[in-house]
Amino acid sequence: MKYSKFTRVSSALVCAVLLAGCGASDDDGGNPRSEEEALAVSDGLTVADPAVVAASDIPVFPIEKYLPKVGEDARIAAASGELIRECMAGFGFTYEPPAPSQETLDSGENGANRARRYGVSSAASAAVNGFHLPKDGLGGQQPPPGIPPMSEAENKVFIGDQDPATGVAPGDKVAGKEIPPGGCSGEAQRRLKIEPRQRMAEKINNVSFARSQENAQVKKALQEWSACMGRAGHTYKTPLDALDRLTGETPSPAELSAAKADVKCKDSVNLVGVWFAVESEIQETLIARNEEVLAQDGTSFDALVRRASEEIAKS
Amino acid sequence: MKSLRSLKSLLIAAVAACGFVLTGAMPASALPPDGTQVTCGTAGQGLGLYYNSNNAGSKRCIFGDVHNYDANPTNCSSQGCARYAFELDGRNGQGTYLKNNAASAYNYSAYVVRIYYNSGWGGTWDSFPGYGYQGSAKWYGNLNGTYNNNASQRMLYET
């Protein structure tokens, strides 16, 4: 996909209508912005000459640099699982942790959901799956064997007092051994030094998606898409509306036809190009405004992923 | 799901053939079809959605994939499929339709789950790891982008 840099709207214009001060350095340092200020978005944003983008070739969003990846979370889970297994064994339980495939451990997918953010994106997939999920890819579902539920004692050791439903109190023992705070789950969190994140990247990802749909330029492109679909004999306001209508286990011929038209119309009106351009602009503004929080989250999460990878390498 | 049932039969046959006894309680037959409403709690292996933040208010626990919270695939008639709603449990929001009305989630399953902004797994997603796990998020918490904007869900069996 040949993606050329599009002409950016003047950031001064964008700044003029934002609530938070633009170009102002971090204020007194002791007063964080309210979340509302941190995520304020101008409605009047317009991108001149958005690049032409095929639905199947949507570029990486600016915010994806900061979003946790599926593979990173899988590594943390695998590492946690090993630590939990060790801890559970100390109580005489044989705990089998999740074992993500190498594909999952390497996955760069994230909550931007590029493959389906704007609905279906691949003509080839649409022709076979309609609006249904492809059988392969998108985390290809292999139905698992049933997981035998844990016994009450095992669950107490596993989760401890993190789940009030277990009724575990500090000092409680199983097999003569004191349950660690938070159970073996809590133990793994401590050993990997897992801490809550501020999740600013997720917020920006969501705000740009939501607010872009109120943007005049995006709305116009959606109208053009809808008109194109109408000419093909399908009535949908937006490609996300079309996903609402998916029914049954397998796609009907009508659904296949609609999904193919969806992708074709996206390309013929450059819906993805326009939408991506507006979202990118919103994201870049929000990223610049919240750089410090994003960096904090990023640094600590990267360090956690490294610790998890080291732990996995040990076993 | 067709493939799930045939795998189940295969597994049961294999178990019988080997004379091998699986540890724990019930084996493969324990897993219900996508969209089944289950008891909230680890035994149900469901994803719990709550009407209020911080896992308060009325709840609803569902196993597996749901393409649209307004269409329960396990409860369909010629009229269409029933809409999921929060349990009638005397709590805040009871009986309200589930779609676009959930504020928090609790993952009781062993699997990574995703809640999507749009039906058909479109839009952005909020992800939660399996019960007892924490990564970029904990296995429970307030919804982020899908706060009162929850339209579909996936349960990722593989991991």
pLDDT digits (tens, 9 = 90+) for A221-264: 999 999 999 999 999 999 999 998 787 788 999 999 999 999 99
Angstrom distances, CA of residue A262 to CA of A51, A265, A279, A293, B67: 20, 5, 20, 38, 18
B145 touching A (Cβ < 8 Å) = yes
Contact A95, A88 (CB under 8 A): yes
Probe site for chain B from A243, A249, A302, A307 (most B CB atoms < 10 A): A243
| ipTM rounded to 2 decimals | 0.87
What's the rounded mean pLDDT across residues A117-123?
Answer: 97
Report the distance separating Cα B157 and Cα A57, nearest Å: 28
What is residue A36's three-state secondary structure? helix
Contact A53, A286 (CB under 8 A): no
For residue B9, what is the nearest residue in chain A, using CA coordinates?
A: A145
**pLDDT for the residue numbered A141:** 54
pLDDT digits (tens, 9 = 90+) for A192-229: 999 999 999 999 999 999 999 999 999 999 999 999 99
For residue B145, what is the nearest residue in chain A, using CA coordinates?
A: A206
Mean pLDDT, chain A, rounded, equals 88
What's the start-to-end Cα distance of chain B, in Å? 19
- Residue A274 pLDDT greater than 70, yes or no: yes
Residues of chain B in contact with residue A72, where contact means CB-CB under 8 angstroms, are: 135-136
**pLDDT for the residue numbered B36:** 96
Helix A70-89 / helix A152-159 crossing angle, nearest 10 deg: 120
Element (H, E) at A228: helix A216-231
**pLDDT for the residue numbered B155:** 94
Per the listing, tokens 């899908």 go with B146
pLDDT digits (tens, 9 = 90+) for A10-34: 444 444 444 433 433 444 444 567 8
Q: Mark yes or no for CB contact A119/B154 under 8 Å.
A: no
Considering only CB atoms, A73 lies closest to which of B67, B129, B144, namely B129
Residue B23, both tokens:
């540890």
Mean pLDDT, chain B, rounded, equals 85
**pLDDT for the residue numbered A145:** 63
The larger pLDDT score, comparing residue A164 to residue A141, is at: A164
Helices (H), A28-69: 35-38
Query: What percent of chain B lies above the pLDDT cut of 70?
Result: 80
Closest alpha carbon to A74 in B43, B156, B105 = B156
Model confidence, pTM:
0.86
**pLDDT for the residue numbered B39:** 95
Beta bridge partners, B153, equal: B66, B115
B6 touching A (Cβ < 8 Å) = no
- Residue B15 pLDDT greater than 60, yes or no: no
Angstrom distances, CA of residue A181 to CA of A82, A83, A185, B110, B135: 18, 15, 9, 21, 18
